[in-house]
């Protein structure tokens, strides 16, 4: 990326540059089982090189959001990340080790304007590693990682319940597939009234592999149920136009209609300000949603310049 950000990159010489097969064998619960960080010996997550682009867009919005709201919401802006990972990543194609989203947020200059940061992951070793790194950075007074399963709405609600309802919050949801239930969005919306969402959607991986099959193959009933939970209803699979697109294997239009349904359900919760999503290579899509036009203005400003330094043309 020409428009680079400082992710404290180092070469991890212990990385064996996994192929697809060995990566599955060596990855356990969100971290590499054979390689640790070259910086601190804690666990690392194996990622593709495109992860840097995701971090770029997140930090771009985070900086504008935090600085723009620091006077309107003094000492009342929070950051929440669900599916945080251990904090450091190794790029599987070249062995470069970088900060993940959590540490990139903590090291951003705009973090000074954050009242509290909460990171949630389902794996205890990952959570412990991230907390060690948070404390090593001297950020433990404002940031903490919690053990939590995003499928356990009550558990997540209890964690977020410590945040005052009269604060402004940025929520980043970063799953590897479309398994986060829409009921989680609803629960967060009830607990935290003033919230912007940045949601990572596996539009070109999970959905590309299984969405058509979920329509046509009864053996993929589990996938259909997962996508219905993600959307918040089963109506997507009941629409004849979507069935026709699946029968004709029109992957592109079917994916876009899936995304449109998701955005429509967000609108019903009050998140009526969303923007053309940012596509990360051909892997996933970053969707932004806010209840206030200021959030949309911030997002448009944050996405004016691509990681390469070129201006975007989709806004």
Q: What is the DSSP string of 207-235?
A: HHHHHHHHHH-GGGHHHHHHHHHHHTSSH
What's the whole-number mean pLDDT along residues 163-167?
88
Q: When comparing pLDDT for 153 and 74, which is higher?
A: 153
**pLDDT bracket for residue 166 (50, 70, 90):** confident
What's the whole-number mean pLDDT along residues 246-250?
96
What's the whole-number mean pLDDT along residues 247-261?
95
Has residue 293 got a pLDDT over 80?
yes
What's the whole-number mean pLDDT along residues 150-177?
94
* String of DSSP letters for 119-138: EEES-HHHHHHHHHHHHHTT
Has residue 3 got a pLDDT over 80?
no
Q: How far is CA 249 from the centre of its chain?
A: 28
pLDDT tens-digit readout, 81-90: 999 999 999 9
Mean pLDDT of the chain: 93
**Helical (H) or strand (E) element with 201:** strand 194-201
* String of DSSP letters for 150-171: TT-HHHHHHHHTTS-TTSEEEE
Residue with tokens 């969005």: 185
Q: How far is Cα 95 from Cα 93, in angstroms, rounded to an integer?
A: 6
**pLDDT bracket for residue 2 (50, 70, 90):** very low
What's the whole-number mean pLDDT along residues 37-64?
95
Strands 273-274, 284-290: parallel, antiparallel or unpaired by DSSP?
A: antiparallel
Q: How far is Cα 281 from Cα 252, in angstroms, rounded to an integer?
A: 15
Q: What is the value of pTM for the model shown?
A: 0.95
Q: How far is Cα 57 from Cα 306, in angstroms, rounded to an integer?
A: 8
Q: What are phi and psi of 172, to 5 degrees?
A: -110, 120
**pLDDT bracket for residue 41 (50, 70, 90):** very high
> Which among 199, 192, 198 is positioned nearest to 299, based on CA atoms?
198
CA distances from 98 to 94, 173, 284 (A): 12, 20, 20
């Amino acid at each position: 990326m020409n428009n680079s950000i400082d992710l404290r990159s180092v070469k991890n010489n212990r990385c064996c540059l996994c192929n697809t097969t060995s990566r599955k064998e060596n990855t356990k619960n969100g971290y590499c089982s054979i390689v640790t960080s070259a910086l601190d010996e804690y666990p690392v997550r194996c990622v593709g090189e495109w992860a840097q682009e995701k971090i770029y867009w997140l930090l771009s919005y985070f900086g504008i959001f935090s600085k723009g709201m620091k006077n309107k919401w003094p000492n009342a802006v929070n950051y929440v990340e669900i599916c945080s990972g251990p904090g450091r990543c190794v790029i599987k194609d070249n062995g470069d080790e970088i900060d993940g989203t959590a540490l990139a947020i903590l090291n951003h200059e705009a973090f000074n304007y954050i009242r509290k940061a909460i990171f949630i992951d389902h794996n205890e070793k990952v959570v412990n590693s991230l907390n060690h790194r948070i404390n090593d950075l001297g950020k433990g007074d404002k940031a903490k990682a919690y053990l939590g399963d995003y499928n356990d709405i009550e558990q997540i609600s209890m964690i977020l319940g410590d945040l005052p309802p009269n604060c402004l919050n940025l929520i980043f949801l970063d799953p590897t597939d479309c398994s986060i239930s829409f009921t989680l969005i609803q629960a967060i919306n009830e607990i935290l009234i003033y919230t912007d969402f940045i949601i990572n959607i596996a539009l070109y991986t999970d959905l590309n592999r299984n969405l058509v099959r979920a329509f046509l193959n009864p053996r993929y009933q589990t996938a259909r149920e997962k996508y219905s939970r993600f959307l918040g209803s089963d109506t997507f699979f009941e629409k004849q136009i979507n069935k026709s697109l699946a029968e004709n294997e029109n992957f592109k239009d079917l994916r876009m209609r899936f995304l449109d349904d998701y955005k429509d359900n967000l609108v019903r919760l009050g998140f009526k300000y969303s923007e053309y999503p940012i596509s990360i290579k051909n892997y996933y899509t970053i969707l932004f949603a806010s209840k206030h036009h200021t959030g949309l203005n911030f997002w448009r400003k944050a996405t004016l310049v691509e990681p390469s330094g070129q201006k975007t043309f989709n806004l």
